[in-house]
Amino acid sequence: MNETTRYWAKRQRISQLLLFTETGQGSCSMACSYCFLAKRGENKVMARETLFRAIDFLREIAVRSPSLHFFGTEPLKQWDLIVAAREYAPDMPISMTTNGHLLSDKRIRWLNENDVKIYVFSLDGGPEHNAARVDRKGNPTWPIVARNLRKLLDTQQSQWLTVRGTWYPTDYDLVSRFRAIEDLGARSIQFVPVTDAPFDERRVMEAYLALGEYYRWGWTSSKFINDMIRRCQNEEAVPQEGNGCGVGTGYWAVSPDGKLSLCQLYEEHQEIGGIGDIWNGITNPLPLLAISDRVDTFHTSSDPYPKQTETYDCSRCHAYKHCMGVGWCAGINRMATGDELVPPDGYCAHLRGMVAACRVWAKRMADRMPPSRSGVLGVRLPVAGEVVVT
């Protein structure tokens, strides 16, 4: 591999490739109403030779132990390529993000026997919340995916699996979403807001406060919520939120034809985030400078307050210190507002509502903790995983 590619791989700390083994129309067994990736464009499937070259490319450039993550559009659609990757790279860590629709007992057994991990399982909550997630014939998928998730969680996959839901503001009931997924056995849950959707700040705050009541103001099954509560426990001491996006850093995305891009959000937008291919390496470093570097230095740049509107003014935002946390995505920002550093109004509304609720949550957690292990102002510091009860 040429020295230019090695330089950029080292600079961006690349150790993983995000694989798109099929894209375009028909590339998913499901047809979620809010998804557009699997419904448009020419269908493209990765050849085995391209997969093997991607693995070789990663071995040549990885700055740490290399790993593969099968991402999309739905990796289980191209099951044979997952099997082929394990055969070609028997010692390389392999993981995936999946909707679970095409899992089976046989496939779950193979995943466990071959150390292929499912890190993210997409599910929006119970059947009423999962209504948008239908198969390609329009049939509900909840019975199938719920059953498959339960089976998966009965194996060692439960140790690393996170159920990730998409939160659209037609429904603010977080409690029943969490409860439904916990009832299936999940121990790690995250709901990511659709940041270009019209979230209402007050209703977001109320949704998180209701969740606080549900968890009795203790720790939740969501790392993102727990992290925000911790930040709110002593806000004066915590630093400005760092780069929660990391676009172009740590991993690069690979299209079915072997093209490289900054991440999954730029995979289909090669004209913006395309950086080369797995045969020739980095041939267009401009996005790594114009996008990755700019996002990486957001809060230290000469203009750290990119959003100046009547509704959302970064310089006066009460949640600004936590900006670039949950839901921040440079790619979505670019597609929605034309600028990686300017998030849609929905992101701002969600963040402000979440932070307001987590401040209340942090105070109520502290009020209910007996002062034993000394922490800030002598208040007992909670332990991860602990739920406070009366």
pLDDT in tens, the chain (390 residues): 799 999 999 999 999 999 999 999 999 999 998 887 777 889 999 999 999 999 999 999 999 999 999 998 999 999 999 999 999 999 999 999 999 999 999 999 999 999 999 999 999 999 999 988 999 999 999 999 999 999 999 999 999 999 999 999 999 999 999 999 999 999 999 999 999 999 999 999 999 999 999 999 999 999 999 999 999 999 989 888 877 788 999 999 999 999 999 998 898 888 999 999 999 999 999 999 999 988 888 777 666 888 887 777 888 899 999 988 778 888 889 989 999 888 999 999 999 999 999 999 999 999 876 554 433 333 333 444 444 333
- Are 210 and 175 in contact by the 8 Å Cβ rule? The answer is yes
Report d(CA 133, CA 115) in Å as an integer: 28
**pTM reported for the whole predicted model:** 0.89
Question: Is 175 part of any domain?
Answer: yes
Q: What is the helix (H) or strand (E) element at residue 254, kind and residue range?
A: strand 251-254
Which pLDDT value is given to residue 243? 73
How far from chain centre, in Å, is Cα 251?
Answer: 14
Alpha carbons 19 and 16: distance in angstroms, whole number: 9
- For residue 302, the model assigns a pLDDT of 62
Report the sign of the C-alpha dihedral through residues 285, 287, 291, 292, in that order: negative
CATH number at residue 52: 3.20.20.70
The SS3 of residue 276 is strand
Is 388 inside a domain boundary? Answer: no
Q: Contact, 327 vs 167, CB < 8 A?
A: no
> Omega into 73 within 30° of 0, i.e. cis?
yes
Q: Is residue 57 part of a domain?
A: yes
Domain count, the chain: 1
| Predicted pLDDT of residue 296 | 85
The reply to whether 168 falls in a domain is yes
Q: Is residue 386 part of a domain?
A: no
| Distance, CA of 66 to CA of 7 (rounded, Å) | 16
Domain that holds residue 348: 1-371
- 378 assigned to some structural domain: no
Q: Which of 14, 38, 9, 41 is nearest to 26 (CA)?
A: 38
Neighbours of 309 (CB within 10 A): 10
Q: Is residue 379 in some structural domain?
A: no
| Whole-number pLDDT of residue 298 | 79
**Measuring CA to CA, which residue among 27, 24, 22, 29 is closest to residue 40?**
24
Give the sign of the dihedral formed by CA 32, CA 34, CA 35, CA 40.
positive
Q: Could you tell me if residue 385 is inside a domain? A: no
- Other beta carbons within 10 angstroms of residue 126's beta carbon come to 19
